[in-house]
C-alpha cells in the first residue's frame, strides 16, 4: 500500500516506521517545522530545553523491546529512578541530547515532510485524496491520523466519516510553560526534577542536571488548573506571572533570558478504550496518546496498533 501518516509525533513516526518495514510506501506529513510533536527540544543561546515531554517510563513488554534498541543505539539513557531523595527504583529515561532525539532517530529513513498542513481529506474510488494547504494533492491507499483528536475530527468530517462518541468527547489539558536560562545553578534538588512541588507547577526540570544543556536552564510546566485559569492572559502577563512563581526555585541564580510556551493539547483528559480506532473501510485509522493510555509509552503502543490494524 501507499500510506500517508498525518503527524510526525511518536505515534505517527512509530506507525510509519513499522509500515515501511513491512514493505509499504509511507509518507509522513506534519504542519510543524520539525519532527517530534510534544517530544520537543529547543535551544536558547547555549541552553538546551526539553519543553514538552520531560521523560518516560517503561511498563509494557512491547515498548520495552523498542527502548532496549534505543538504549543500545545511544538514543536514550536513564536519567534517574524517581525525584524524591530516596527514589522509587523505577527508571525514568530521557533522550540522550533531549527528548527530540527519539523522534529524529525514528524519522531516519522515512519520507517526512514538515511544514505541510493537511487541509482536507476525500475519497476518490478506493483511494484517499490528501489535500495540503498549498494546493498539493496526494493520493494514498490508507491514512493514519495521529494528530490531536479535535484536529483529526475536523479532517474526518470532510470525508463524511462519523467518529464514535467516545472519541468526539476526548479533550486535552492545557499547559503553560516557562523556559528560563540562568546565570548559575538552580535550587532544584538532585536529580533535577520536581513533580507537583506547589499549586502552580506540575513539573520543574533542570536541563543542566538532566545532562542535555551546557548552560543552567529550567523548564517550568504549570499544572492544568492554573494553565486553564491563565490561558487567555496576554504574553506579557503570562510570562510575568510564571516568572514570579518560579523565583523560589532559582536559588541565588537569576534569569538572563526566558521564553513563554503554550501547549493547547498537552495531555488527554480521558482516553479512548482501544489503542487505535479503525474505520470500517479498513484503510483509515486514528492513533495517539489519547488511545488506551497517555504518556510516551501509550503513544508508541498506539502507533504500533495502528500499523498492525492496517496490515491486517
pLDDT digits (tens, 9 = 90+) for 191-205: 999 999 999 999 999
Strand partners, 194: 204
Asked if residue 11 has pLDDT above 90, the reply is: yes
One fold for both 2-41+98-170+270-311 and 172-268?
Answer: no
For residues 187, 188, 191 and 194, what is the CA-based torsion angle, rounded to 10 degrees?
Answer: 170
Percent of the chain with pLDDT over 90: 88
Give the bridge partners for 118, in sequence order.
132
Please give the pLDDT value at position 293: 87
Q: Which of 37, 38, 96, 26 is nearest to 67 (CA)?
A: 96
**d(C-alpha 224, C-alpha 221), whole Å:** 9
d(CA 215, CA 186): 11
Distance CA 302, CA 295 (A): 11
How large is the angle between the packed helices 100-107 and 10-21, nearest 10 degrees? 20
The dotted CATH code for 172-268 is 3.90.660.10
Q: Please write the tens of the pLDDT for every residue from 241-258.
A: 999 999 999 999 999 999
Return the CATH fold of 2-41+98-170+270-311.
Answer: FAD/NAD(P)-binding domain (3.50.50)
Question: Which cell goes with 280?
Answer: 470500517
Q: How confident is the model over 260-309, as pLDDT tens digits? A: 999 999 999 999 999 999 999 999 999 999 999 889 999 999 999 999 99
Domain residues of the chain, as ranges?
A: 2-41+98-170+270-311, 172-268
Provide the 8-state DSSP code for 78: E
Amino acid at each position: 500500500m501507499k500510506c500517508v501518516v498525518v503527524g510526525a509525533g511518536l505515534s505517527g513516526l512509530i506507525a510509519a516506521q513499522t509500515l515501511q518495514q513491512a514493505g509499504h510506501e509511507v509518507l509522513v506529513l506534519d504542519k510543524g517545522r520539525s519532527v517530534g510533536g510534544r517530544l520537543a527540544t529547543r535551544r536558547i543561546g547555549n541552553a538546551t530545553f526539553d519543553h514538552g515531554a520531560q521523560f518516560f517510563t517503561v511498563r509494557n513488554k512491547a515498548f520495552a523491546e523498542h527502548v532496549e534498541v534505543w538504549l543500545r543505539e545511544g538514543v536514550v539513557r536513564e536519567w534517574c529512578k524517581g525525584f524524591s531523595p530516596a527514589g522509587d527504583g523505577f527508571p525514568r529515561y530521557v533522550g540522550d541530547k533531549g527528548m527530540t532525539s527519539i523522534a529524529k532517530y525514528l524519522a531516519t529513513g522515512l519520507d517526512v515532510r514538515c511544514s505541510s498542513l493537511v487541509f482536507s481529506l476525500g475519497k476518490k474510488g478506493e483511494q484517499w485524496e490528501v489535500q495540503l494547504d498549498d494546493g498539493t494533492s496526494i493520493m494514498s491507499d490508507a491514512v493514519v491520523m495521529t494528530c490531536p483528536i479535535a484536529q483529526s475530527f475536523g479532517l474526518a468530517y470532510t470525508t463524511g466519516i462519523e467518529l464514535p462518541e467516545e472519541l468526539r468527547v476526548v479533550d486535552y489539558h492545557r499547559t503553560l510553560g516557562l523556559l528560563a536560562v540562568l546565570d548559575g545553578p538552580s535550587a532544584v534538588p538532585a536529580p533535577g526534577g520536581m513533580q507537583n512541588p506547589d499549586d502552580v507547577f506540575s513539573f520543574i526540570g533542570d536541563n543542566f542536571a538532566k545532562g542535555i544543556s551546557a548552560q543552567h536552564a529550567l523548564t517550568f510546566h504549570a499544572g492544568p488548573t492554573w494553565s486553564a485559569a491563565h490561558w487567555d492572559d496576554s504574553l506579557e502577563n503570562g510570562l510575568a506571572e510564571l516568572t514570579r512563581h518560579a523565583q523560589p526555585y532559582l536559588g541565588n541564580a537569576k534569569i538572563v533570558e526566558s521564553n513563554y510556551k503554550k501547549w493547547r493539547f498537552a495531555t488527554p483528559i480521558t482516553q479512548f478504550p482501544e489503542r487505535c480506532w479503525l474505520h470500517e473501510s479498513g484503510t483509515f485509522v486514528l492513533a495517539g496518546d489519547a488511545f488506551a493510555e497517555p504518556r510516551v509509552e501509550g503513544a508508541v503502543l498506539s502507533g504500533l496498533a495502528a500499523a498492525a490494524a492496517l496490515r491486517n
